[in-house]
Amino acid sequence: MIDAKAPLVDLHRHLDGNILPATIWKLAQRNGIELPASSLEELIPLTQIQDQTSDLLAFLQKLDYGVSVLARLDDCYEVAYENMLDAERQGLDYVELRFSPYYMSMNHDLNMADVVAAVIDGVNAGSKETGVKSNLIGILSRTFGAETCMRELESLIAHKDKITALDLAGDEINYPAHMYKEHFAKGRDAGWQITVHAGEADGPQSIWNAIEMLGATRIGHGVAATQDPKLMEFMAKNKIAVESCPTSNYQTATVKSIESHPLPTFLENGLLVCLNTDDPAVSNIDLPHEYKVASEVIGLTDEQLALVQRNGVAAAFLSDSDKKALLTSKA
């Protein structure tokens, strides 16, 4: 199912959506933060999706518990470090971790630039210990508005050489791409790659806007692309990758069932699509689980799965030489 001789990569993985329930409980106890649960067992169903939520915003509420216990910069370092240990446990060879400085800082009024520094240090320490290669993607949390996102952007630019790409995530419908054109122009000027959540809660025009207004060369989720054949043709021709997350798409009610997921349609139309976890702790999954789902539920062939795995390397925000080194390391 997974080719052991090829690199296993996860390109769409939220660091702040991958705080394990046990870590949330530990940090709450350490920081004297009250949670609506009297034990870890009671906390788990509050912080993990049990089946399907009503929509994306209901799904995102599950992430709030994790960031609510980040009372100190050391906590941000710790969850970043633990993300790398988790990547090793899940058998990843390369991971791109994305995070929102504002989202991680807002509950306890932490300095956003310091949060970015703590995350960088934690990921670097974890990468050094595990040997898993990593890169960081900064998120602008669109839900909090353009002004807050500009401050968030400034905190990322303060450490721009340690950030690989810029992303836009959150309430896609009510905070559309045009509100963030200036932000992403600054991000491109900083030398960053661009990926944008689009076509998850909104239609294909949201994907066009992410590409044309914000400069996205990768699209997070992109489910709605199947509604527009010209869009799929454009994305295939220009190698605009789709970061596909089937279990998450079911849990957010973006797709009615996993069986109906558009992953086969993406492949049939020649899109550069790869498999990812999104928020593994919240979804209670790992990347091997997503490959199993793609095979046994969605129905991809072994050849298609191998292509999807190779696509992950091709779409990674790595130099050609780094991609070659990653491939060589598994040969």
Alpha-carbon distance of 127 to 119, in angstroms, equals 12
Residue 153 · residue 189 · CB < 8 Å:
no
Alpha-carbon distance of 273 to 314, in angstroms, equals 10
Is 34 among the catalytic positions? no
193-198 vs 133-141, strand pairing mode: unpaired
User: Residue 2: in which H helix or E strand, if any?
Assistant: none
Catalytic residue among 78, 152, 172, 200: 200
Q: Which two tokens stand for residue 84?
A: 């790398």
Smallest CA-to-CA distance from 280 within 9, 68, 1, 12 is with: 12
3-state helix, strand, coil in the chain (%, to 5): 55, 15, 30
- Helix (H, G, I), strand (E, B), or coil: what is residue 83? helix
Residue 33 · residue 27 · CB < 8 Å:
yes
Smallest CA-to-CA distance from 234 within 214, 216, 254 is with: 216
Cβ-based neighbours of 233, under 8 Å, separated by 6 or more: 269
Alpha-carbon distance of 290 to 276, in angstroms, equals 7
Q: Catalytic residue positions? A: 200
